[in-house]
Each structure stands twice: as C-alpha cells, then as structure tokens.
Amino acid sequence: MGLARVLSVALAGVQGTVVEVEAHISPALPSVTIVGLPDAAVSEARDRVRAAALNSREDWPMQRITVGLYPATVRKAGSGFDLAIAAAVLLAAGAAPAHSLDGAALLGELGLDGRVRRINGVLPAVLAASAAGVKRVVVPHVTAAEAALVPEVEVLAVRSLGQLMAVLRGEELAEPVAQPIVDDDDDRGPDLLDVIGQAGGRRALEVAAAGGHHLLLLGSPGCGKTMLAERLPGILPPLSPSEGLEVAAIHSVAGALPAHCPVVARPPFRAPHHSASMAALVGGGSGVIRPGAASLAHRGVLFLDEAPEFHRGVLDALRQPLESGQVEIARAQATARFPARFTLVLAANPCPCARGTDMADLSCQCTPLARQRYLAKLSGPLLDRVDLRLLLPPVSRADLLGGERAGESSSDVAARVRKAREQARQRFAGTPWRLCGDVPGPELNVRWPVPPRVLAPLHREADRGRLTARGMHRTLRVAWTLADLAGRDGPDVGDVAEALQLRAGVG
C-alpha cells in the first residue's frame, strides 16, 4: 500500500528518455520530496500538483510523500512531469485502481486550478516513448493531434487532472481523439511565376534545389533577392512521411506546430532577422532547450537577408550545422541535439551603401577597401561552403514593362529538380551522399573522373590565379548538378563554363 509507478519522458533536444515516476506514501508529518535530478521547475511541481489535486476535488494524502524520478542520472527539466507526478501520488493514495496507468506515459503541466496545460515537445516525447515500447500515452488535450501522429500508440487526451481521474475510475468516457489533418501537398507557397526577369537568379535557384547547394545572392535592394529565396522551398521535393515527422518533432519542441494540422509536408523556410541572437539562430535558452532557426529550417531553407549585418559570432555558429547537419547545445547535465540540415541562402548588398551593382550609378562612393571589408564578414569558413554565388542585376525597365515573365511555374521547375535529384541519388548509391552539394572536396573527381578536356576551363582559371583548389571542387560539384538537370551522364564543357559563371561575384 502507498506505492504507485507511472512513466513520463525527459527530453534533451529531440531525443527523449522514458522516465519512471514513483510515488511512495508513508505515515509521517505531511511533506513532499522529489528526488532524481529534478531542475527548479520540476521541484516546484510539489506545490503545483498539490494545489491542482485539491482544486480537482481529489483527496491529497496528508502524509509523507516521496516522488522519485528514475533513472536519476537523466536530467529532468521543465514542468512537463506535473501530470505524471500528480497521477502517481493519487494512485498511491488509492484514488483510482492501482494498475490503471501501468505502462502508460504521462505528459503535461498542471495549472493550480487542475487544468492540464500544453507543453512543448509532445511529439518527440511520444516518439521516444513508442520507441521504448510504450503503447499508451496521456497528453494535454490541445496536443492530441500531435501525439496521434505516432502510429500504434493509444492516445488519451485530457483537459484536467479531475477528468483523468474520472476516466480512470470509470466515471467518464475518454474523449475521442481526432486524426491529424494532412496538409495539402499541392500548396507550394509563393510561385516562381511571380518573379519578373532575373533569369540568372531563377536558374541559380533551380541548381541550388537540384544539387543541395548553398547560395549567395548579391544585388541592390529591390532586385528580388527575398522573392527568389522565398520560392526555393516550392521547387524542392515534398518531405517524405518520415522526414515530415522528423521536422514536426523539432517544431514541436519550439511550440511551433499548429494544433489541428501538425503534419509538415513542405520543406520549411526560416528567415531570421539580422539582429537575431545566437539562441535564436542555433538554439539555446534556459530550462528546456529550444531549437533555433537553423533547426527549424531542417530539410528546408535558411535565409539570411543582409547577411553581413549579422553578428560575426552568430554567423560563425552556423559552421557546426553546415559541417555536421546538427546543432549540439551542451549543458551541465545533458547535451541537447537538434538536426539542422538546410539549404543556406545568403543575401547581401554589393557594398555598404547598397548602390554598387549598377556600374553606371556614380552615386556609390564606397571605396574598394570598404567594399572588401563589407563582404569579408561573410568570407572564410562560411562562404567556403557556398557553391553558388550570383551577382543579380537591378531589375531593368524592360523587364518590368516587357512582360517578360519568363513563364515557368514552380511546379515545372520542381519536376526537373526531382529528375535531377533522382539521377544523383542513383549515382551516389552506396555512398553517404545523396546530392552533389553533399560531396566533400576532391571526392567527386576521384570517384567519378571527368575527361581532362572538360576540365580545361577550370585549369585555365586556376592558372590565372582566379580559382583556388577549393573553388575548383565547388565548381565541379555545380557542373555535376547541371549535368543531372540536363539528364547527361556527366558534365560537358558547357556545364563547366556555366558552373564558373554561377560562382562569379565574390570569392
């Protein structure tokens, strides 16, 4: 008598660990002790669960209550253990059949009035519980659709502690859980049809999508950099169900999933402002660690407009996800990991005064040194990973008046992108890479050699000191993507020449 166990989940990043929550009641002066590496918010559960139980008209045992969270080595953060703690105590006190929550994982914060409040990260928590063999979860009602995304798990959605206890006692029926609505797959967001002119920019976008190449767009304000960047997700293939679940799990931890439509079917787009903090860009925060824009853009596009205006340290922090495809945030007791594999699009003005693209515009007074310094903020390790660098011309009067709408819709371009990606996938079968943009350094030319005749333009540029060894590898990666887009077995001289053009501008 006086002992009950339920389960819950401790999250670090999107990784969850199933935690056993044990309540023991013994005859002594009334007190509540929580043991097992709780953080401040978990310790405060003491007061919340007692008030919640009393306000739910449940009998709170006036004895010594000890709550243990095991394994004790796993860090427990946040208020998401409230519901499990309250249920364990009430079961130990005999408020409902002792085994009515056996094997079930409970997630949720309690309000003082007994309401079960939303917590972030329900989806990755339920995924972790399911992976550990848990077949039944109890979640806040507002997160029911999110939890229901996980197959083969029975979801009990509750609005209050009182409702949960009434269901366990058989006094009420559980509320039915609506199946999550799948987003319309045809909705590609803004369409390329709306972009006037900028044939070069559109081509670079297509190449970036086909090869997974990062992209730098240089051009004066109003030339359409943001318009182009926003249209990149619309020409990427839709996410597979497992990719969608992976992306939704990250968004769940950020509290960014819509309640009724938690399915993510399209690659996400994130455009943090240049004043963004380190935590906003790569993740962090106190208590429960939140993902940043880099992770929220996972399997989609991260767009940094006015990139040279970002804090240097914040830009440098992008090196880790660009290298490893994930972000690691270390804390005293735990390391949170968030996936962060995105296509990076950087946009910048050509010079500090932003008028420098138009060579005829003599109003630009920026010295060559000032220009160099401005773009130097992007140089080095970050720019080194950007295969495509494009100088966009100002939109001309002819483009605007001539109705030269270049005609292609996002779905037409997306069809070519899909074919090109399929060709690359077949070539790279049996390697860790899927796209040309994934292949590091000289590997491409070692494994899939290109005839010297085709490489001649690259060597010519290198001989003139206009192309570094790294630049050659980047250009070759792009040339392979151009070949994939054209359905050729490998790059020809024309592909190499176009690839060289697509890295003009800087670097």
Give the interface segment with Zn ion, choosing from 36-44, 243-251, 289-297, 350-358 (CB under 5 A). Answer: 350-358
Minimum distance, C-beta of residue 357 to Zn ion, in the bound complex (Å): 9
Stretch 364-403: interaction string toward Zn ion, x if CB under 5 A: x-x-------------------------------------
Four-residue CA torsion sign, 110, 116, 122, 128: positive
Minimum distance, C-beta of residue 321 to Zn ion, in the bound complex (Å): 32
Task: Please state, as a whole number, how many other Cβ atoms lie within 10 Å of the Cβ of residue 452.
Answer: 8
Q: Give the residue with the Cβ less far from Zn ion, 358 or 492.
A: 358
Give the interface segment with Zn ion, choosing from 244-252, 360-368, 401-409, 484-492 (CB under 5 A). Answer: 360-368
Minimum distance, C-beta of residue 377 to Zn ion, in the bound complex (Å): 15
Minimum distance, C-beta of residue 368 to Zn ion, in the bound complex (Å): 10
Give the interface segment with Zn ion, choosing from 74-82, 96-104, 353-361, 406-414 (CB under 5 A). Answer: 353-361
Q: Give the residue with the Cβ less far from Zn ion, 179 or 367.
A: 367
Give the interface segment with Zn ion, choosing from 65-73, 82-90, 299-307, 358-366 (CB under 5 A). Answer: 358-366
Minimum distance, C-beta of residue 505 to Zn ion, in the bound complex (Å): 15
Distances (CA, A) of 85 to 26, 81, 170, 241, 249: 16, 6, 21, 34, 24
- Cα separation of 259 and 252, whole Å? 10
Pure H helices in 76-191:
82-92, 122-131, 144-147, 161-168
Q: Give the residue with the Cβ less far from Zn ion, 309 or 328.
A: 309
- Cα separation of 224 and 393, whole Å? 10
- Which residue, chain included where needed, has tokens 């002066």? 29
Which residues, 6+ apart, have CB-to-CB distance to 211 below 8 Å? 387, 420, 424, 435, 436, 437, 477, 478, 480, 481, 484
What kind and span of H or E run contains 443? helix 443-447
Which amino acid appears at position 396 of this protein? S
The full length of the chain comes to 507
Give the interface segment with Zn ion, choosing from 39-47, 116-124, 252-260, 345-353 (CB under 5 A). Answer: 345-353
Minimum distance, C-beta of residue 224 to Zn ion, in the bound complex (Å): 19
Give the interface segment with Zn ion, choosing from 227-235, 356-364, 438-446, 453-461 (CB under 5 A). Answer: 356-364
Minimum distance, C-beta of residue 227 to Zn ion, in the bound complex (Å): 22
Give the interface segment with Zn ion, choosing from 155-163, 323-331, 344-352, 391-399 (CB under 5 A). Answer: 344-352
Q: Give the residue with the Cβ less far from Zn ion, 278 or 353.
A: 353
Q: Are strands 31-35 and 15-26 parallel, antiparallel or unpaired?
A: unpaired
Q: Give the residue with the Cβ less far from Zn ion, 129 or 506.
A: 506
Peptide bond connecting 71 to the previous residue in cis, omega within 30 degrees of 0: yes
Minimum distance, C-beta of residue 378 to Zn ion, in the bound complex (Å): 16
Minimum distance, C-beta of residue 356 to Zn ion, in the bound complex (Å): 4
Q: Give the residue with the Cβ less far from Zn ion, 159 or 371.
A: 371
**Interface with Zn ion, residue 218, by CB under 5 A:** no
Q: Give the residue with the Cβ less far from Zn ion, 39 or 305.
A: 305
Minimum distance, C-beta of residue 503 to Zn ion, in the bound complex (Å): 23
- Cα separation of 258 and 160, whole Å? 21
Helix (H) and strand (E) counts in the chain: 21, 16
Give the interface segment with Zn ion, choosing from 41-49, 363-371, 426-434, 487-495 (CB under 5 A). Answer: 363-371
Q: Give the residue with the Cβ less far from Zn ion, 44 or 358.
A: 358
Task: Please state, as a whole number, how many other Cβ atoms lie within 10 Å of the Cβ of residue 310.
Answer: 24
**Interface with Zn ion, residue 348, by CB under 5 A:** no
Least Cα distance to 120 among 330, 338, 329, 331 occurs for 338
Q: Give the residue with the Cβ less far from Zn ion, 31 or 365.
A: 365
Half-sphere exposure in the Cβ direction for 85 (13 Å, CA) = 34
Q: Are strands 215-218 and 301-304 parallel, antiparallel or unpaired?
A: unpaired
Minimum distance, C-beta of residue 364 to Zn ion, in the bound complex (Å): 3
Distances (CA, A) of 287 to 42, 284, 429, 430, 448: 10, 9, 42, 41, 49
Q: Give the residue with the Cβ less far from Zn ion, 339 or 356.
A: 356
Q: Give the residue with the Cβ less far from Zn ion, 167 or 366.
A: 366
Contact between residue 43 and residue 81 where contact means Cβ atoms under 8 Å apart: no
Task: Please state, as a whole number, how many other Cβ atoms lie within 10 Å of the Cβ of residue 10.
Answer: 24
Give the interface segment with Zn ion, choosing from 94-102, 349-357, 391-399, 465-473 (CB under 5 A). Answer: 349-357
Least Cα distance to 400 among 128, 170, 255, 198 occurs for 198
Site for Zn ion (CB under 5 A): which residue of 353, 395, 462, 497? 353
Q: Give the residue with the Cβ less far from Zn ion, 242 or 363.
A: 363
Q: Which residues are bridge partners to 284 per DSSP?
A: 290
**Interface with Zn ion, residue 356, by CB under 5 A:** yes
Task: Say how many residues touch Zn ion, by CB under 5 A.
Answer: 5
Which residues, 6+ apart, have CB-to-CB distance to 384 below 8 Å? 470
Minimum distance, C-beta of residue 279 to Zn ion, in the bound complex (Å): 33
Site for Zn ion (CB under 5 A): which residue of 107, 125, 351, 476? 351
HEC string for 160-196: EHHHHHHHHCCCCCCCCCCCCCCCCCCCCCCCHHHCC
Minimum distance, C-beta of residue 351 to Zn ion, in the bound complex (Å): 3
Q: Give the residue with the Cβ less far from Zn ion, 148 or 351.
A: 351
Task: Report the interface residues with Zn ion, using CB under 5 A.
Answer: 351, 353, 356, 364, 366
